[in-house]
């Protein structure tokens, strides 16, 4: 197979800034990803020190072909600004017409930001809307890559916080019984947490309302627990929304089971909405002193565990430790950043195969990830959140899961992109 020839025109310039969110240690591109982008004909500017919290010094970036630059210069000259978390107000204000913002920008919780950026001609690309059931989009699935890191880390945090051994330990002083761990939710984060807790020697149970998850959980050597509520799977294999009566039944059954566990790891997140409460205050009261809850669903909107506070560790009156850990992937910054950077590279390969950002309204992947472009909010879910009328249907030019052709995805640079090219030059 012949490698693609890098574009001969002005290089697409990708800028990476230091993340400003509290306790955020990840960076949007690691040196290995930078080298791939440079080889493909891109130019990469990195803010000095941006990779240091993840263990990537400036020297590693320059060796990979990046330029270390000041933040104002990056914001002025970058065609693409890659971020990990939703941008702060200063970054939003600095973005200009023709630039593209890519990241886990949390669009459904920041509709005013999307409206503002779109009206100003900034293209916004959100990983939250990657169509996860398309095989060709899997390399772009940052939600899965970061959930995998968070699930692994959750089991480590649980072991660190728990005051006893996780595995059975036979010593001269006697035998320690293994800890009982339950992981609620058998998605990417949950399965990784189950696998890690098993490797640490705990007796692990995986819980999910989708009976189809049984095989995955049991393949990891864990027990499987589910609800008596009928079939909990919805479109694409994800958990469906239950009725109020079903929720009451499911939560009552779960509450009665949880009191027997030493460690609970919860993983339920709902983009744009408050996470469901899975461990109630009364359930916490029924748990043994010294038990631990690690809440991967924790956010500013609430958590899966009653009273959990994002980024903080609290202890109930009954002695149960609750860890608010909604952004736990940040505590595994090197590995999480490496995986995230591959997601960025994959998105750029789809949106800019010939060196310019080109949005194809008939491409199923672009229909998902591109939230706003050329002054128009493109994503259907985002339009609904902003109370905008639906856009006319744009049927994919190719089968939904087939590789897109160059002709379908590269009709030429948009006027907005060209305007920014001229400004930067």
Q: How many CA atoms lie within 13 A of 374 on its CB side?
A: 11
Degrees (nearest 5) of the Cα angle 403, 405, 409? Answer: 105
| Active-site annotation, residues | 132, 138, 141, 144, 238
Spatial distance between the Cα atoms of 66 and 64, rounded to a whole number of angstroms: 6
Are 297 and 267 within 8 A, CB to CB? yes
263's CB contacts (< 8 A; 6+ apart) are 158, 162, 166, 179, 180, 181, 182, 197, 202, 291, 292, 293, 294
Name the phi and psi angles at 169, rounded to 5.
-125, 125
Tell the burial category of 160 from Cβ atoms under 10 Å away from its Cβ (0-12, 13-18, 19+).
exposed
Question: If we measure between CA atoms, which residue out of 6, 102, 23 comes closest to residue 341?
Answer: 102
d(CA 359, CA 350) in angstroms, rounded, equals 9
Measured at the alpha carbon of residue 394, what is the angle toward residues 392 and 397, in degrees to the nearest 5? 170
**Residues 6+ positions from 199 with CB-CB distance below 8 Å:** none
Letter string b/e over residues 33-54, b meaning 16 or more CB atoms within 10 A of that residue's CB:
bbbbbbebbbbbbbbeebbebb
Q: Whole-angstrom Cα distance, residue 181 to residue 199?
A: 12
Provide the b/e sequence for 340-378 (b: ≥16 CB within 10 Å).
Answer: bbbbbbbbbebbbbbbbbbbbbebbbbbbbbbbbbeebb
Distances from the Cα of 226 to the Cα of 182, 223, 266, 303, angstroms: 12, 10, 14, 21
Could you give the CA distance from residue 44 to residue 360 in angstroms, rounded to a whole number? 24
**Residue 388 backbone class (left: φ over 0; alpha: ψ -120 to 50; beta: rest):** beta
């Amino acid at each position: 197979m012949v490698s693609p020839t890098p574009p001969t025109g002005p290089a697409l310039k990708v800028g990476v800034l230091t993340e400003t969110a509290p306790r955020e240690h990840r960076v949007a591109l690691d040196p290995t990803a930078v080298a791939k982008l440079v080889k493909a004909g891109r130019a990469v500017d990195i803010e000095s020190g941006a990779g240091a919290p993840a263990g990537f010094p400036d020297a590693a970036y320059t060796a990979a072909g990046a330029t270390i630059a000041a933040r104002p210069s990056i914001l002025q000259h970058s065609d693409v600004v890659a971020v990990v978390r939703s941008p702060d107000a200063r970054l939003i204000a600095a973005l200009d017409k023709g630039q593209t913002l890519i990241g886990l920008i949390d669009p459904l919780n920041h509709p005013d930001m999307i409206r503002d950026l779109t009206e100003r001609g900034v293209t916004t690309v959100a990983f939250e809307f990657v169509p996860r059931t398309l095989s060709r989009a899997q390399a772009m699935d940052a939600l899965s890559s970061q959930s995998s890191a968070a699930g692994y880390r959750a089991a480590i945090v649980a072991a660190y916080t728990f005051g006893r051994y996780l595995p059975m330990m036979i010593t001269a002083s006697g035998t320690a019984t293994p800890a009982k761990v339950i992981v609620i939710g058998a998605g990417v984060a949950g399965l990784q947490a189950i696998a890690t807790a098993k490797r640490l020697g705990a007796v692990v149970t995986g819980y999910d309302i989708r009976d189809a998850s049984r095989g995955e959980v049991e393949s990891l050597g864990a027990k499987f627990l589910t609800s008596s509520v009928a079939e909990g799977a919805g479109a694409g294999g994800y958990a469906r929304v239950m009725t109020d009566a079903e929720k009451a039944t499911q939560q009552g059954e779960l509450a009665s089971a949880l009191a027997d566990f030493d460690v609970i790891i919860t993983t339920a997140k709902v983009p744009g909405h408050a996470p469901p409460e899975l461990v109630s205050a009364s359930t916490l009261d029924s748990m043994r002193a010294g038990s631990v809850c690690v809440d991967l669903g924790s956010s500013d909107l609430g958590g899966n565990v009653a009273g959990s506070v994002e980024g903080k560790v609290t202890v109930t009156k009954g002695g149960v430790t609750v860890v608010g850990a909604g952004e736990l992937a940040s505590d595994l910054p090197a590995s999480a950043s490496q995986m995230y950077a591959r997601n960025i590279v994959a998105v750029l390969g789809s949106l800019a195969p010939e060196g310019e950002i080109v949005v194809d309204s008939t491409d199923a992947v672009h229909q998902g990830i591109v939230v706003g472009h050329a002054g128009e909010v493109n994503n259907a879910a985002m339009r609904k959140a902003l109370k905008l009328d639906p856009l006319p249907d744009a049927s994919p030019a190719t089968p939904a899961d087939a590789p897109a052709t160059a002709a379908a995805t590269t009709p030429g640079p948009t006027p907005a992109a060209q305007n920014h090219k001229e400004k930067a030059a």
